[in-house]
Amino acid sequence: MLWEVDVSLTDANGDHAARQLVAAARDLGLVECLGARTAAGWLVEGDLDRGQLEQIATRLLADPVSEVFLADEPGSPRLTAAWDGLSTVVHVLPRPGVTDPAGLTAAEAIDRLGHPGVTVRSLRKYWLPPMDATAAETLAKRLLANDAIHDVVVGPLAIRSLAGGGNWSFASHPAPLTGLDDAALEQLSRDRCLALSVAELHAIRDHFAALGRPPVEIELETIAQTWSEHCCHKTLTSPVDHEGPAGRASYGNLLKETVFAATQEVRRSLGSGDWCVSVFRDNSGVVRFDGDHDICVKVETHNHPSAIEPYGGAATGLGGVIRDVLGTGLAAKPVANLDVFCVAPTDTPAAELPPGVIPPERLLAGIVAGVRDYGNRMGIPTIAGAVAFHPGYVGNPLVFCGTVGIMPRGSADAAVQPGDLVVVAGGRTGRDGIHGATFSSIELTSESETESGGAVQIGHAIHEKTLTDFVLEAARQRLFHAITDCGAGGLSSAVGEMGATLGAEVELDRVPLKYAGLSATEVWISEAQERMVLAVDPADWDRLVATAAAEGVEVSAIGSFTGTGRLVLRWQGELAGELDCHFLHEGRPRKTLPSRCMPPADAPVVWHPRGDLAATVLDILALPDVASKEWIIRQYDHEVQGASVTKPLLGPGDGPADGTVIRGVLGRDRGIVLGVGLRHRIGPLDPYQMAAGGIVEAIANVVAAGADPHRIALLDNFCWGDTRRPDSLGTLVEACRACHDLAIAFAAPFVSGKDSLNNVFSYTGSDGSPREISIPPTLLATALGQVPDVRRCVSPDLKRPGSRLAIVGLSRPDLAGSQLELTGRVSGGAIPRVDPAACRASIHAVARAQATGSVLACHDISDGGLATAVAEMAIGGLLGARIDLAKVPCEGAAELPATARDLAIAFGESPGRFICEVAPDREELFAEALGDVPWAFIGGVAAPPVFEIQATSGESSKATLAALATAWRGPHAAEENS
């Protein structure tokens, strides 16, 4: 029997979803939608009579104080009756097979109420003013639903059952490659969404020809997953012949000879003081923390899924990186998350959006909500992040999710033993996320939303939370030999990796399913979320089962690691596929890639001065890259776990932080600090400097927040356009070179990284011609620092009237790609360039100065330059400040005309500079600590809430603190407090 229960609020004023819908419909000018009401609906199927159903609704589904419910059979006129004149009823429900966390939870609860075997699907229901069905559907699809995962039904629901399909019966599908010409092979790769090149298909064809049989579908899929860009980074690990500004260079393996090589060199130079534990080989990079613990960190991207379904894509991106940390060594406990998003400007007019893309404002809101709902439920504080805007991200938004974990010392190494059981733990397997790994390696098109919807996963955070609780408890009891997460490529990739040398036999029919009907191949490559694979000694199996049961987690032994070097897949005893592990992991043909990069010469600088310096500060504070992200930060739980020391919003005025700090262990004073650097605007101008500037920014962020500059670990995340083109690959090579050089200059090793290539969006222009939009070359640099004693941390907000402000580091008048350029006051000129030795000197000097206790506040100078940094410090401290530009140590500014000189000093973005607020009685200590680094006192802190900038001519301009705060907080601020 199938029932529907609608639960609605008694008080219309509390119906926020309705208010939001009305506002959004009005903003978009879609239809005249003057009123709306909403309800949470539940489809409940099981052996229940009306009385039992009403009891379930009363006890479980509706709140007795604030809600009422209506229960009946779907399609009953009572359920679609008009409500206060609102006669159009719209249902939005997850498509069959799409994970429905609320439905699953409700079914489990109904089971506990004594009604086992009930199936539940959740839905949202909307009552709208009278309108025709097409208009209602259009409105629903624009505002309420995402085609990739939702069905929209206007009027009565005609659904009669929630039952899924029947069982799949075993069949093996040969996929012969012999006799196909290159065009046919290419076609086959595209049709099956394999993302294999012709050369790779030749290798596969030859391998199977030698075996004397064609590959079967599941074998071909396994190879495609394993060889995908997503899983094996084939571009970054390829041989490359490069020609760049520093001459010609040949690499046998690009990543190994740049980023890895730098790490090796840094470790060698550290000698016995090497604090790296496990780098570039596990799911995350591990470094030494204190006497008892190591910490690990990983940052992932989830760009393609987020472009199609921002909420689910971002949530599962975060879920995936959390599992990376959980699946490191013998498991680490996740203690912090970070999130960085790159999107098109949210005010991009609809007419300028290419077809098939989600408008950036809605996209960003969806991404934020996804991270919020997943991260908050996981109980992991989201402590750091950034949002960057650029038109190049319109079709390919970037979503970076990172997680930091902590583990007992001595648990970074894990090794599968022959005879270990292959155990899958956590969520069940469904059709979600089929072809995610190969999909993320293919470029997006305007049809991607409809073609690749199956590649989108929806997360169920509570399953991941219970899985985490279970894994950490099992790790404490040492109940497994190795663990990895089921991410891209699903079981095929997780089991394949764990058994890469030993080999494994897997009985695919033993994998627990969400619903019947999945084929062996689907089970094998499904990217259903919240699953981990463990290698378990059969002697520990019973204890593992008991531990899992105590946490309510499902574990299944689906096979064993064999030691034969072969990967054997079975279905109810029948052979479904068999692969040689050596071929699978080493058989991919490698091709030398041509690469070329000649950064454009600097464009001539042109000045367009406008308004005074204070007005310029206000303009910059309101620019999207700089403006407050409070509306996002406040939606994240950034304090859960109780370890918070330096939060993303600081001081009595809630100003911005640089790095953010948490205690590693509650009750102890050693801290972990996270910072990010992203100089995407420099990318198209000079990829080397883009990467170098980002790395310096990340390091400066954590050092400003108190990190020991001798213990900074770095992560790289490369997001690039089509690197099959030599001139695009060239920019990637230049960025890798920068990573190498900067890591060595700062003795800061890279410990982990990830890349996402082919971020190109192709579509057909209004004139019918093919068009494409590539993202700007984007390196996200993440710095993981350590604070010896969190009680000595300083923050950027100004503290005390009467103290002095000092700038540390040399300023140069380089403004290409700057925020000032975005205000229209300058164009062209030189980009800010990194002088590694000078940056290193100023960063170490600031750390020394902080150690003397003379620094009351410290902020690194990045987007928007010196004046913007001081304004941010004033906003956080609710204090006034004064700076004198004539006192700033500069190089190359003297020859500029006066107005240009002032703009260059106030808003230039030379990397590696800081502002310090210095305690009045400790100026000598401060000066002594800085040594011979260029620095100067340039002003002071005052109680009157005014920011005063004195130009080099002596003329001054002022902005009130209130004006600064309003500009920085922008239109979202008022909403925040409602």
Partner 1 sequence: MLAPRALVLRAPGTNCDHETAHAFERAGGLARRIHVRALAERPGIADDHQILCIPGGFSYGDDVASGRILALELVTRLADMLQRFRDRGGLVLGICNGFQVLLQTGLLLTDPAGQRQATLAHNHSGRYVDRWVRLRCQPGNCVFLQGLTEIELPVAHAEGRFVARSPADLEHLSAGGQLPLRYSPDAAGRPTNPNGSVADVAGACDASGRVFGLMPHPERFIAATQHPAWHGRLDPDTAGSGLAVFINAVRATA
Task: Kindly list the catalytic residues.
Answer: 230, 302
What tokens were used for 515?
């619903």
CB of 673 to partner 1, least distance (A): 13
What is the rounded distance in angstroms from the CA atom of residue 386 to the CA atom of residue 629?
Answer: 8
- Strands (E) across 830-910 are located at 855-860, 880-884
If the CB atoms of residues 666 and 894 are measured against partner 1, the closer one turns out to be: 666
CB of 467 to partner 1, least distance (A): 10
Contact assessment for residue 751 and residue 287, using Cβ atoms and an 8 Å cutoff? yes
Indicate the pairing of strand 566-571 with strand 504-507. Answer: parallel
CB of 466 to partner 1, least distance (A): 5
CB of 424 to partner 1, least distance (A): 19
CB of 44 to partner 1, least distance (A): 12
Phi, psi of 634 (to 5 degrees): -70, -20
If the CB atoms of residues 292 and 639 are measured against partner 1, the closer one turns out to be: 639
Indicate the pairing of strand 603-607 with strand 504-507. Answer: unpaired
790 closest CA partner among 881, 707, 675, 683: 707
Neighbour order of strands in the sheet with 247-251:
247-251, 240-244, 593-596
CB of 878 to partner 1, least distance (A): 9
290 closest CA partner among 787, 885, 818: 787
Strand, coil or helix: what is 767?
Answer: coil
Contact assessment for residue 753 and residue 715, using Cβ atoms and an 8 Å cutoff? yes
If the CB atoms of residues 390 and 638 are measured against partner 1, the closer one turns out to be: 638
Indicate the pairing of strand 566-571 with strand 276-278. Answer: unpaired
| Cross-strand bridge partners of residue 940 | 804, 882
3-class SS letters over 606-666: EECCCCCHHHHHHHHHCCCCCCCCHHHHCCCCCCCCCCEEECCEECCCCEECCCEEEECCC
633 closest CA partner among 339, 346, 401: 339
If the CB atoms of residues 65 and 183 are measured against partner 1, the closer one turns out to be: 65
Quick one: how far is CA 679 from the chain centroid?
17
If the CB atoms of residues 23 and 415 are measured against partner 1, the closer one turns out to be: 23
What is the rounded distance in angstroms from the CA atom of residue 255 to the CA atom of residue 257?
Answer: 6
Phi, psi of 750 (to 5 degrees): -75, 135
Strand, coil or helix: what is 667?
Answer: coil
If the CB atoms of residues 9 and 903 are measured against partner 1, the closer one turns out to be: 9
What is the rounded distance in angstroms from the CA atom of residue 490 to the CA atom of residue 396?
Answer: 24
What is the rounded distance in angstroms from the CA atom of residue 14 to the CA atom of residue 42?
Answer: 20
Residues 6+ apart with CB under 8 A from 848: 929, 930, 931
CB of 978 to partner 1, least distance (A): 6
CB of 462 to partner 1, least distance (A): 4
Do you know the residue count of the chain? 978
Contact assessment for residue 540 and residue 457, using Cβ atoms and an 8 Å cutoff? no
CB of 632 to partner 1, least distance (A): 11
Provide the 8-state DSSP code for 489.
T
CB of 662 to partner 1, least distance (A): 10
Contact assessment for residue 101 and residue 462, using Cβ atoms and an 8 Å cutoff? yes
If the CB atoms of residues 92 and 378 are measured against partner 1, the closer one turns out to be: 378
If the CB atoms of residues 327 and 648 are measured against partner 1, the closer one turns out to be: 648
Strand, coil or helix: what is 209?
Answer: helix
CB of 803 to partner 1, least distance (A): 10
What is the rounded distance in angstroms from the CA atom of residue 524 to the CA atom of residue 221?
Answer: 9
What is the rounded distance in angstroms from the CA atom of residue 943 to the CA atom of residue 945?
Answer: 6
**CA dist list (Å): 908 to 230, 457, 478, 605, 689:** 38, 43, 54, 13, 15
633 closest CA partner among 438, 261, 384: 384
What is the rounded distance in angstroms from the CA atom of residue 498 to the CA atom of residue 493?
Answer: 8
What is the rounded distance in angstroms from the CA atom of residue 355 to the CA atom of residue 762?
Answer: 10
CB of 633 to partner 1, least distance (A): 8
If the CB atoms of residues 60 and 615 are measured against partner 1, the closer one turns out to be: 60
| Cross-strand bridge partners of residue 959 | 947
Q: What sign does the CA torsion over 854, 860, 865, 869 have? A: negative
If the CB atoms of residues 411 and 466 are measured against partner 1, the closer one turns out to be: 466
Tokens 């034969």 belong to: 564
If the CB atoms of residues 372 and 588 are measured against partner 1, the closer one turns out to be: 372
If the CB atoms of residues 11 and 181 are measured against partner 1, the closer one turns out to be: 11
If the CB atoms of residues 668 and 771 are measured against partner 1, the closer one turns out to be: 668
Quick one: how far is CA 476 from the chain centroid?
29
What is the rounded distance in angstroms from the CA atom of residue 720 to the CA atom of residue 727?
Answer: 12
Q: What sign does the CA torsion over 411, 412, 413, 418 have? A: positive
118 closest CA partner among 56, 169, 62: 56
CB of 779 to partner 1, least distance (A): 30
